[in-house]
Structure 1
Amino acid sequence: MNDLETRKPGTLGAMAKDTSAYSAAALTPAVDVVEDSTGITLHADLPGVSKDKLQIQTEADTLTIEAELDLPVPEGLQSTHTEVALGRFRRTFRLSQELDPSNVTAKLVQGVLILKIPKAEHAQPRRIHVDG
């Protein structure tokens, strides 16, 4: 069962026009998703992003990751070559009803964002006691 679906502009289910500061062009970070019996874990590659330039938000069944690169050029120097011209990352996912968006935990370790999204209580496996 797939508990997570990426939303892409121009496809069915895409969000309405975004009017936030992040609506400008942005890079789409690579994300690995691992599912187990307790929920899912996302590993998003966000090189050059610091914790204070990262926003993670859930609203209804939508998870949004937004970030800005934090690679300052030292004073008095000028960049002569830039391979990544966009300084933003943005990725949006639709969450399954089996997940609990109110209990998401996040950690940023060496440019990798680790999000843990637990399954909702009604979706957790449970043992049934048998009387007899």
Structure 2
Amino acid sequence: MAHRKTVNTMWLDAVSMLDRADQLHRQFFRLGSAQTRGPSWEPPADIFETPDTLSVMVALPGIASDNLQVTIENDVLHIHAHRPMPGPRGAHLKRLEIPYGHFERHIRLPSGHFQIQDSSLSQGCLTLTLKKLR
């Protein structure tokens, strides 16, 4: 009887971990709004604030800097690009977990005025430093 209870507990733990992994995947690579044509997704972002700046880090693996557009309009940071489908021509797709295609990320900024002071794309992350304008 104790053996059966242990197996059931292990099974419930495994199912719970799979559900959590699926939730994290959907959270980080959720589909964007239907306002755009074609496939759209939103990359995850972190934001840090200091008294003088706002730092934004966005996960963009596989995105070239010349394919990236970043603007600030009406207190919203807009990030647009396109991640092309990888792989050799004629290859058979066996698994597709990383989102590809057009993406947009719109981040509402805190009240105030901001100017992009610095930007870098390194190790798959876009890092923006937004200067607070007084």
Q: Residue 51 of structure 2 corresponds to which residue in structure 1?
A: 37
Paired residues, number:
103
Q: Using CA pairs under 8 Å that are at least 6 residues apart, name the structure with larger relative contact order, 1 or 2.
A: 1
Alpha-carbon displacement from aligned partner over 1:35-58 (angstroms, at most 9, x marks no partner): 112111001011121112211112
Indicate the SS of the match to 2:42. coil
**TM-score computed with the length of structure 1 as normaliser:** 0.63
Q: Computing the radius of gyration over CA atoms, which structure comes out larger, 1 or 2?
A: 2
**TM-score computed with the length of structure 2 as normaliser:** 0.62
Percent of pairs identical after alignment?
28
Q: Which one has a larger percent strand, Structure 1 or Structure 2?
A: 2
Indicate the SS of the match to 1:100. strand
* TM-aligned CA deviation for residue 71 of structure 1: 4.9
What is the RMSD computed on CA atoms of the aligned residues?
2.6
Q: Residue 113 of structure 1 corresponds to which residue in structure 2?
A: 126
Unpaired segments ≥5 residues, structure 2: 1-31
Q: Which one has a larger percent helix, Structure 1 or Structure 2?
A: 2
Unpaired segments ≥5 residues, structure 1: 1-7, 10-16, 123-132
The answer as to whether partners of 1:46 and 1:89 remain within 8 angstroms in 2 is no
CA distance 1:78–1:53, change in 2 (3 Å): farther
